[in-house]
Amino acid sequence: MASNKRKFGFWSVVGLIAISLFWVGLLSGNILWTSDTPPLQIIDDMDNQPKVKGQSPSSFFADGKATRDPLEYTVPRNGTKYNVSLDDANTKNINTVPVTAEVLARGKNRFETMCTPCHNHDGKGNGLVVQKGFANPPSLVRPEAVAYTDGKFFHVMSAGQNIMSSYADKLSELDRWCVVHYIRVLQNGGTHPKVSAKSMNTDNQTTAQAGTAKAASAQ
């Protein structure tokens, strides 16, 4: 028969090797190509349901947003809209968050996430974003800043100051107070000034000291 007489030529060997390599690559989970077209779906098993999803577009509303903007004067369910002027910041913003190990750890985490791009890890400024052309913020550990009240720091975080914009949407009120506590740790060289005060009970004191020690050693 004709098919039996056919011999493997050069190109069929090359083709076989190519096909094997393709399958080996594919099955070993390597990305062989990237694509701009959305993934292929043969059977749409209720994968795409006609419902409103977060941040998805909508043809119903004129502005095309499925997620509606909150109305004016809307307050968050577990907080208040920050509405304190700079003059009242020192007296109206009262820090009632106790200094505990968790609070300091949270403050450190939020500071490292939200503040270090400009203020740097030590609070002295010249962060990596500043090196790219942002205005260098004044040091958080300079004597004037040490003299600031907690309320003043809270105000700057909530309302912004100069070129720094408000971080009220990124940091909850509790988180902002945690960051204030952590700034005090930075200013005091690794420990919170209130930790050694006699007003704190011993139980809180030990946990807070453990927290600051940990926060300092992790830096």
Are 126 and 120 contacting, i.e. CB atoms less than 8 angstroms apart? Answer: yes
Cα(194)–Cα(98) distance, integer angstroms: 10
Residues 12-71 that bind other proteins (CB under 8 A): 23, 26-27, 29, 31-36, 38-42, 45-49, 51, 53-55, 57, 63-65
Q: Identity (one letter) of the amino acid at 187?
A: Q
Burial grade of 15 (CB within 10 A; 0-12, 13-18, 19 or more):
exposed
Q: Binding pattern to other proteins, positions 165-184, x when CB under 8 A?
A: x---xx-x-x---x------
Q: Taking the CA of residue 131 as centre, how many other CA atoms within 13 Å lie in the half-sphere pointing to its CB?
A: 6
CB atoms within 10 A of CB 46: 5
If binding is defined by CB under 8 A, does position 135 make contact with other proteins? yes
Q: Binders of other proteins: how many residues, by CB under 8 A?
A: 66
Return residues touching other proteins (CB under 8 A). Answer: 1, 3, 23, 26-27, 29, 31-36, 38-42, 45-49, 51, 53-55, 57, 63-65, 78, 97-98, 100-103, 105-106, 109-110, 112-114, 116-117, 128-129, 132-135, 163, 165, 169-170, 172, 174, 178, 204, 207, 210-211, 214, 217-218
